[in-house]
Amino acid sequence: MEILFEDGQIAVIVKPAGMASQLTPRGNDCVTALRAHTGGEIFAVHRLDTPTTGVMVYAKTKKAAAFLSKEIAEGRFQKEYLALVHGRPEDPSGNMEDWLFKDARNKTYVVKRERKGVKKAILSYETLQTRADETYGTLSLVRIRLQTGRTHQIRVQFASRKMPVLGDGKYGAKDNAPFLGLACCRLTFRHPATGEEMTFTHMPAEFHEKAAGLAD
């Protein structure tokens, strides 16, 4: 687990793929690792799916956690993602809007209409590059901004349009890639104590191999 920034209020890390972002009974999670590193309390204020890597911020005090949670609720907390998806988006850039339903097995589906348990999901995207990969066929590198934060949102919305994320067997990819082609590449938020706007970026090594230089 790489630590990008740390002070008395927050810790900014790169969450490894395969490690849970929130506390788990077995302790294979970022909260437990950060507690061991700092010797103090750690508060999770947002999450990433376990197979997803990327930039995350954790609070080290209850006051900092409350501040960041409010920033998220009021839309001032910005997350950008990079995704390697199969195929090519019909439009180079645009929005995706869907109704999503999550079942008891923690799998999410696109449904046609609103009903109990169904939530609206909105994201915007920009296609950075599409090219033929010698192993996985046609892949597109897409930059994504979430306007809502639903479970598995990016993975489900692209898969429902026949563009599953590379390595995402749960949502239809049949490529057997050794990593999930999804990462939180940029995080922007205000510091809980100073109010200073801070931005942190990260490009996973696997993305360098498939799309070097496209995540600036």
**Is 179 inside a domain boundary?**
no
Q: Which residues contact 200 (CB under 8 A, 6 or more apart)?
A: 4, 5, 12, 55, 57, 186, 187, 188
| Residues 112 and 156 reside in one and the same domain | yes
Q: How far apart are CA 46 and CA 80, in angstroms?
A: 14
Residue 142 placed within a domain: yes
Q: Is 133 a catalytic residue?
A: no
Cα-based angle 75, 182, 46 (whole degrees, multiple of 5): 35
Same domain for 90 and 152, yes or no, is: yes
Same domain, 58 and 99: no
Whether 130 and 191 map to the same domain: the answer is no
Distance CA 127, CA 89 (A): 7
Residues 33 and 50 in one domain: yes
| pLDDT tens sequence for the chain (216 residues) | 899 999 999 999 999 999 999 999 988 999 999 999 999 999 999 999 999 999 999 999 999 999 999 999 998 999 999 999 999 999 999 999 999 999 888 899 999 888 888 999 999 999 999 988 888 999 999 999 999 989 999 999 999 999 999 999 999 999 989 999 999 999 999 999 999 999 999 988 777 666 544 433
Same domain, 85 and 134: yes
101 lies in the same domain as 43: no
Do 54 and 111 sit in the same domain of this protein?
Answer: no
How many CA atoms does the CB half-sphere of 71 hold within 13 Å?
Answer: 24
Q: Which of 7, 29, 49, 133 is catalytic?
A: 49
Tell whether 177 is covered by a domain.
no
Residues 137 and 153 in one domain: yes
The enclosing H or E element of 67 equals helix 62-73
Q: What's the pLDDT score for residue 113? A: 82
In the prediction, which pLDDT does 214 show? 43
Q: What is the pLDDT of residue 116?
A: 83
Please tell me the distance from the alpha carbon of residue 9 to that of residue 176, in angstroms, as a whole number. Answer: 40
Burial of 182 (0-12, 13-18, 19+ CB in 10 A): buried
Quick one: 94 and 51 in the same domain?
no
pLDDT number for residue 203: 85
Q: What is the CATH number of the domain that holds 20?
A: 3.30.2350.10
128, 134 Cβ separation under 8 angstroms: no
Domain that holds residue 204: 2-78+186-211
* Phi and psi angles of residue 173, each rounded to the nearest 5 degrees, phi first: -70, 135
Q: In the chain, how many domains are there?
A: 2
> Is residue 95 a part of any domain in this protein?
yes
Q: What is the C-alpha to C-alpha distance for residues 216 and 214, in angstroms, rounded to an integer?
A: 6
